A and B are shown apart, each in its own frame.
Chain A
Amino acid sequence: MDRSEKLIFPDPGDSPQKARTGLEVLIIGVGFLILMPLISIHRVTDFMIFCIFALSFDLLYGYMGRLSFGHLLYLGTGAYVYGFLIKFFQTDAFLAILCGVLAAGLLGMLLGPIMVRATGACFSLMALAFNHIGFFLVLSPLKHITNGEDGFGAHAKSLGFLDFNSKTVMFVLSLLALLLVFYILKRLTTSPYGILVRSIKEDENRVRFLGYNTYYYKWVTFVIASAIAGLAGTLTALNYKFVNPNVMDVHQNVGVVFACLIGGAGNLYGAIIGGVAYMMISNYLAIYIHRWEMFLGLSMLIIVFKFRKGIWGYIETLGGHFRRPKEIRPAAQKGA
């Protein structure tokens, strides 16, 4: 592999690359630990769970270029499956989380073949339609087990020293989950597979022309994104000890789209920054501005017209001014 190729396809097994990913995970962990005393611990747990969801959405939208307006379906599936297992079978929390993730992944696997054939608006609308079906199923035909609009409580038994009622335990658990998801996605998106997924976003026909079966790549990405959304759902249910149809309310989807856009789509840090920014706005602005949906709409318009790169995009361009000379120097030496 010559140098120019290496720049485009960074080898994931490369030890500097590995070390860098480790450092990034550390930075994010420390970042949330700093955020924790500034805001209340309960809120930061919420923020992190939302960030997991934003990451999974970003994999679909930012990396694969499929704007899903119904991603909450998978979050809701995770939450409900977790809730059912806790409520009806009194399983321990980790098994329920695992089942929730698997169920969301399975749903993604079932709907994937229909969904990923579509692009652009068709994809968004189908996602919206499926979300609507899911919301409806939970609300009325399955009412005898989901308890309809009122939802049901799901108290997980404490597991050894892990007491799920404790805020600290939830915080640590969510932080670990977030870091794990970030690490997995980071490895995934820098791998050849991730580059292929990004190429599908740029021009699917060309990727197909190169001999790849883009269908399977899209499907796998869709399943991964659904499973991670399911994880976010199980954590939401674990955190609130309560599941109600709000977790897959069609109208709430706009939040994660906004988070992804404001943070900068197509970047994992963008998703995390956007997730925190959105949660800040929805938690604090709602106190001061009664009609905060209008604010959300206005800022979405501004982002679409003037601010497409998002917060992380600007940080990156700023950072690029300082970093670029350093990066070129060793590369030039090697090449010589």
Chain B
Amino acid sequence: MLYTIFYGFSIGAILYFVSIGLSLTFGTMRVVNFAHTLTYSIGVYVLITSISWMGGNFIPAAMIAILAVIPLSYLVERFIIRRLYGESLDYTFIATFAVTLIGVDTIKIIWGVNPLPFSPPMSTYIDFWGMTFPLYRIIIFGIAIALFLGLEIFFRKTIVGKIVVAALDDKDGTRCLGISVDKYFSVMFMLGSALAALGGVLYAPISAVQPYMGLSILLLAFAVVIVGGMGNLRGTFISAFALGMVMALTARYWSQGAETMVFIVMAVVLCFRPLDA
């Protein structure tokens, strides 16, 4: 049972990485960013390539993967999403989905269609009160906590964070103060994409690597964002771990039903919550 809870935490951490970017882009720009799947999977594929350059050294390879995603997400933001500000949500949804389709095909061209093998960078287990936990999952969980605290500090203490929080609350009011909101949104978008890539990089070793891998995790991340409240950063954190726990507990008793359970929880939550998006 304790193992299950532990796995729930590590899944929750991954969900948090992916969904925080979605939540940010939705809260600030009112854009449902389907292209998030793309940054997620591109991050993983770049990692696979760069890890062979680095001679199997995981950490610098992961850095390269995350940094590689940033210019890509800038291009998506600049040429697709910025043109659709204030338009109907449907169009941004369709446009970013189209970007995903293009991206998935690009991945297929560069890296091929077949799933790629990829093993965890470390297979150390640590003993703890007579139980053994894989160290890798502990590290994932640690990074998630660090990231949450880091983002909290970022949004409270730094000027960029404060502007973004202000813009989340009232975009026009912030713009009236003479702040170029779009510039900060662009930064947020890149940050969100980089975090998605981080999630991908950390999750890839314990899941399968294939061109459509982003899509299923994106659906889960959307569920997290909807349950936690769109644009609500702390809500996203809580719901990510809650849904991660739901997945782990379901998987313990009924392994195929794990993902579906998340959507059922989402549907139940939606029944009792006002919808404003």
Contact = CB atoms under 8 A, between A and B. Distances in A.
22 contacts: A67-B94, A69-B93, A118-B275, A120-B88, A121-B277, A122-B226, A124-B90, A125-B219, A129-B222, A130-B263, A132-B259, A132-B263, A293-B102, A294-B105, A297-B98, A297-B102, A300-B98, A301-B99, A301-B102, A304-B98, A305-B83, A308-B91
B-side binding surface: helix, strand, loop or mixed? helix
A300 B93 contact: no
B257 interface: yes
Given A291-B109, A294-B105, A121 B32 contact: yes
Interface residues of B, number: 41
Interface in A126-142: 126, 128-130, 132-133, 136-137, 140-141
Interface string B54-96: 0000000000000000000000000010011000111101110
Contacts of B99: 297, 301
Contacts of B226: 122, 125-126
A296 interface: yes
Contacts of B222: 125, 128-129
Nearest to A294: B105
B260 interface: yes
Interface of A: 61, 65, 67, 69, 114, 117-122, 124-126, 128-130, 132-133, 136-137, 140-141, 250-251, 254, 257, 261, 291, 293-294, 296-298, 300-301, 304-305, 308
A118 B277 contact: yes
A129 B277 contact: no
A54 B242 CA distance: 38
B101 interface: yes
Contacts of B259: 132, 136
A124 B93 contact: yes
Most chain B Cβ neighbours within 10 Å, of A69, A128, A129: A129
B109 A129 contact: no
Contacts of B266: 126, 129
B105 A297 contact: yes
B93 A291 contact: no
Interface in B203-255: 212, 215, 219, 222-223, 226
Contact of B219 (A117, A121, A128): A128
Nearest to A253: B97
Most central of B90, B93, B106, B109 by chain A CB within 10 Å: B90
A198 to B, nearest CB: 15
B241 to A, nearest CB: 20
Given A120-B90, A291-B108, A300 B101 contact: yes
A295 B181 CA distance: 34
B100 interface: yes
6 tightest Cβ-Cβ pairs between the two chains A and B: A297-B101, A300-B98, A294-B105, A297-B102, A120-B89, A129-B263
Given A291-B108, A301-B99, A126 B94 contact: no
Contacts of B98: 296-298, 300-301, 304
A79 B17 CA distance: 38
B32 A125 contact: yes
Contacts of A296: 98, 101
B160 interface: no
A140 B99 CA distance: 31
Contacts of A293: 101-102, 104-105
B158 interface: no
Contacts of B267: 114, 126, 129-130
B153 to A, nearest CB: 30
Interface string B39-65: 000000000000000000000000000
